[in-house]
Structure 1
Amino acid sequence: MNIDTKYHGTVTVKEEDIIRFPHGLPGFANEKRFVLLPLADAPFVILQSVDTPALGFVLIEPFSYFPSYEFELDEATVEQLEIESERDIAVYVILTVADPFDNTTANLQAPVVIHVRQRTGKQVILTNTAYKTKHRLFPDQVAT
């Protein structure tokens, strides 16, 4: 199927590439179908809504930028996504891209967890954590 996207124009995606977010994303409860699209020669991907062309989030795999980043998923999320092992999931965080790019921040408080085989996902809001919504990518410190 062809979809219109925020950053890639019109692209063809396969039905099996669609990731379903049963409860949407926080602030976007009606957005339930997304695809991951690579962003040129960058380490970033776009979490693109299948249904809303203007809705695309820039994501990174956080562990390369924040090597000590770790968290535990709550039991409800583990059950909802049917996670049996860490190998079942991919973890991303949403970026707020700034100008200049050196001021770009990552939301470590709300990772996007995707069950890679089931093609289901959830943005998890971490509680009782020191992680914030704005951690600078360069260098690793909380932005103001």
Structure 2
Amino acid sequence: MTAVLLPDAPVSVASDLLGPIEVPAAACYDFPDGLPGFEGARRFALVPAGREGLFWLQSLDAGALVFLLADPFRCAAAYEVELSPADREALGAAGPDDVAVLAIVTLPRGDGDAPSVNLRAPVLLATAARRGRQVVRSDDRYGITEPLSLD
């Protein structure tokens, strides 16, 4: 049996990076397929990162699993994402306006390295259904390590 989250009820999250936090249940998303490489983690909270256009995607299943996400439209003005009918159905989205699009950020590992953003595999969040998925696109218009300025 799965617990039902009430939209206004806070959810306690034990994050290794962010510390113990509480988020509204409306900020929690179910990823039925997990994320590529992390299929076992299926519940995440979207947490503002303190800078406009940046968010933490914190796993509710594993405190050490957290991703930094960026608004790809702020990174690449001409960025486009076409939602297939299969994407909309898997997300339970009524239409494209019900879907938020974010991109996973890779932070620099050393001095002189720059952050990058994965525009080829956006994270899609159906805001009403509170369901998410990462979609890996086959076209090469966008790369997996596009430069990103965090200034």
Asked whether the two chains share a fold, i.e. TM above 0.5, the reply is: yes
1:109 maps onto 2:104 in alignment: no
1:129 maps onto 2:140 in alignment: yes
For 1:107, the aligned partner's letter is N
> Residue in 2 aligned with 1:142?
none
Point out where structure 1 has 5 or more consecutive residues left out of the alignment: 139-144
> Residue in 2 aligned with 1:141?
none
> Residue in 1 aligned with 2:3?
none
Runs of 4+ in 1 over 3 A off after TM superposition: 99-102
Structure-to-structure mapping, 1:1-144, within 5 angstroms: 1-41=11-51, 43-98=53-108, 99-100=110-111, 103-138=114-149
For 1:110, the aligned partner's letter is A
Point out where structure 2 has 5 or more consecutive residues left out of the alignment: 1-10
| Identical pairs, percent | 34
User: Structure 1 residues 31 and 8 mapped into 2: Cα distance closer, same or farther (>3 Å)?
Assistant: same
Q: TM-score, normalised by structure 1?
A: 0.87
Number of corresponding residues: 138
Contact 1:5 1:53 in 2 (8 A): yes
Shift of 1:76: 1.4
Q: TM-score, normalised by structure 2?
A: 0.83
Shift of 1:6: 3.4
CA-atom RMSD in angstroms: 1.7
